[in-house]
Amino acid sequence: MSVTTSARVDAARPDAARRGTPRPDAARREALRPDAARPDRAPADPARVSSAHDVFVTTGRAPARSVRRLVVDSWRRSRRSGVDPDVSAPPVDVTLNDLAGLRREHPLAGVLPAVRSLLLDADPDWVTALTDQHGRLLWVEGDKNIRRRVEPAGFVEGAVWREDCAGTNAPGTALATDREVQVVGHEHWARPVQPWNCTAVPLHDGGGRVLGVLDVTGGSVVASPLAMRLVRATAAAIEATLRAPGPTSTAPAAPPEPTLRVLGARSGSLTVDGTTQRVSGRHAEILLLLALHPAGLSADQLAVLLSEHDLSGVTVRAEVSRLRRLVGPLLSESRPYRLTRPLRTDADAVRAALAVGDVAGALAAYAGPLLARSAAPGVERARADLADDVRSAVLASRDVEALARWAASDEGADDWQVWEAMADASRPGSASHLRAHAHLARIERDLLA
C-alpha cells in the first residue's frame, strides 16, 4: 500500500467534527508548516549506526558523530538500566481484566476516534499505539500484518515500553525526554526491534501533565519526515480536544444515568448524580437483580434470587430498607421493589458490543466475572450467561487476538477449547501458535496428574 500526505491528513471524514473528532484541516495545517521536520533530526547512515551500536553495547564507548545525541543519551540510560540488547521482552504485568480497567479509566480513551480517523482510516503500512503515562501500551491498532510481525518483539497491548524495560524506542524515549522522537532501525537498543522504525509524540492535558504517548511503528514510511508531521499534527489535535470546554446549551442538562460496576476487581461501586460510593456485596446483588428486572420484584421473588436457602421476607425487607437509606430515591418506596430510574451496569456495555458483533469491544469492556464472590442464584445465572456469551463470540470469531485475550483471562486460562482454537487459528511457528500448543500440553499433564 502506498502512503501519501493526502491519504493521511484527509483520513478524517467530513462528519468527524460533529462526533467530537478534531477537524482534518487543522491537522493538515500543522503537518505542512515549514519547520515541521527539521533536518537535524535525520538519523545517520544505517551501517554506521549499526557499527556504533555494536561498539557501544560492547564497550560503553559513545560514538563521536555517527549517532544523534538524543539516541546516545538513551543508549546510556538503557545500558544503566541493564536492558539486554539481544532480547526484546517488555513486561506484560497486567491481566486482561486489569488492562480493560486501565483503558476504561484513562483520559485518552475518548480520543481513540480521532486517532483512528487521522492515522488509520487510510489503511497505512503501520500500527498506531497509545500508551499511558507509565509507557504501557493501552491500545495497538493498524495493519494486521505488521501487528503480527511486531508481536514477537513484545509490541502488544499491555506491554510496558519504558526505556528501563525495553531500551531505546520512540514511545519510551518520548516519555523519558518529554519530547517528540523518531527512532530508526539500528538506533533501537534491542536488536530484535531494529528491523522497525517508530515515531512518537507525548500527549499532555491542559495543565501540561503527560498523559501518555502517541506512536506509529512500521517500515520505511515511518522513518520519513511525513510520519513525524502526521503524528505531531494528530497529537496537536488531540491535545486541543482535551483542552476544549464541552458544548454549552441553554437547556438544563439531563442528570447522568446511575451506574453500577459489577465486573472484575472494582465491582460494587455505585455512582448516582456524580457521587460514587462503595456498596456491600448484598446491596450490589439487590441493585443488579432489580436492574435486570425493571418491572420490579416481590420480597419472595427477591429472596429466591438472593439465596438457595430459605431467606425470610423479613430479612429481605430489612436489607432493602438499609439499601434505600443508602441510595435514596433511586429505590422505590412501594412494592414490588423496583428502581425509579434506569441503572446502567458495565455488563450492559459488554452486551451492547456483542449485539453489534464487536468482539474486541466486548472483550475490552469485560473486566472480569460479574460479582465474582456472589453465591446468589440470580447473580450466578447472570454471571454464567454473560461469560458464556463472551466466550461463544470469541470462539465464533476465530480471531487469534480475541482468542488470546480470552485465554489470558482467569476464565480462559484452562479452557481447552479456547486454547485449541487459538492453536488452529494461529500461523504455524508463530509465538501464539507455539504458546497455545505448550499450554495445551500443560493442561493435559495437569489432567493426567
Please write down the HEC assignment for all residues of the chain: CCCCHHHHHCCCCHHHHHHCCCCHHHHHHHHCCCCCCCHHHCCCCHHHHHHHHHHHHHHCCCCCCCCCHHHHHHHHHHHHCCCCCCCCCCCCCCCHHHHHHHHHHCHHHHHHHHHHHHHHCCCCCEEEEEECCCCEEEEEEECHHHHHHHHHHCCCCCCECCHHHHCCCHHHHHHHHCCCEEEEHHHCCCHHHCCCEEEEEEEECCCCCEEEEEEEEECHHHHCHHHHHHHHHHHHHHHHHHHCCCCCCCCCCCCCCCEECCECCCCCEEEECCEEEECCHHHHHHHHHHHHCCCCECHHHHHHHHCCCCCCHHHHHHHHHHHHHHHHHHECCCCCECECCCCEEHHHHHHHHHHCCCHHHHHHHCCCCECCCCCCHHHHHHHHHHHHHHHHHHHHHCCHHHHHHHHCCCCCCCCHHHHHHHHHHCCCCCHHHHHHHHHHHHHHHHHHC
Per-residue model confidence (pLDDT) at position 302: 94
% of the chain exceeding 90 in pLDDT: 46
Lowest mean pLDDT among 307-311, 319-323, 414-418: 307-311
> 43 versus 20: which is more confidently predicted?
43
Segment 207-223 mean pLDDT: 89
pLDDT number for residue 10: 37
Who's near 81: CB < 8 A, 6+ residues apart?
163, 164, 165, 167
Angstrom distance (rounded) from CA 139 to CA 141: 6
Residue 33 has pLDDT above 70, yes or no: no
Q: What pLDDT, on the 0 to 100 scale, is given for residue 133? A: 86
Q: C-alpha cell of 237?
A: 489535535
The mean of the pLDDT values for the chain is: 84
Average pLDDT over every residue of 396-412: 87
pLDDT (average), residues 426-431 = 88
pLDDT tens digits along 320-368: 999 999 998 899 888 899 999 889 898 988 898 888 888 888 887 787 8
pLDDT score for 255 = 62
Indicate whether 24 pLDDT > 70: no
Peptide bond into 369 cis (omega under 30): no
More confident residue, 276 or 56: 56
- Residue 372: the pLDDT is 92
- The model carries a pTM of 0.49
Residue 5, C-beta contacts closer than 8 angstroms, at least 6 positions apart: 31, 32, 226
pLDDT band at 41 (very low <50, low <70, confident <90, very high): very low
Residue 373 is predicted with a pLDDT of 92
Lowest mean pLDDT: which of 23-37, 49-63, 139-153? Answer: 23-37
Tell me the torsion sign for CA atoms 3, 125, 180, 105: positive
Please give the Cα distance from 314 to 217 (Å, whole number).
Answer: 62
- Model confidence at 208: pLDDT above 80: no
Residue 176 pLDDT? 84
On the question of pLDDT at 34 being above 70, the answer is no
pLDDT at res. 28: 38
Q: Please report the pLDDT score of residue 245 as a whole number.
A: 67
Half-sphere exposure of 196 (CA within 13 A, CB side): 29
Better-predicted residue by pLDDT, 185 or 176: 185
Burial of 228 (0-12, 13-18, 19+ CB in 10 A): buried
Domain 5-91+117-243: assigned CATH number: 3.30.450.40
**How do the domains of the chain map onto residue ranges?**
5-91+117-243, 259-330, 346-448
Q: What's the pLDDT score for residue 268?
A: 87
**Per-residue pLDDT reduced to its tens digit, 230-253:** 999 999 999 888 877 655 444 454
Contact 114, 230 (CB under 8 A): no
**Is residue 199 predicted with pLDDT exceeding 90?**
yes
Residue 39 has pLDDT above 70, yes or no: no
- The pLDDT of residue 207 is 62
Please report, as a single letter, which amino acid is at residue 344: R
**pLDDT exceeding 70 applies to what percent of the chain?**
87
Report pLDDT digits (tens) over 70-91: 999 899 888 877 788 999 989 8
- The three cell numbers of residue 217 are 511503528
pLDDT tens, 136-173? Answer: 999 999 999 999 999 999 999 999 998 888 999 999 99
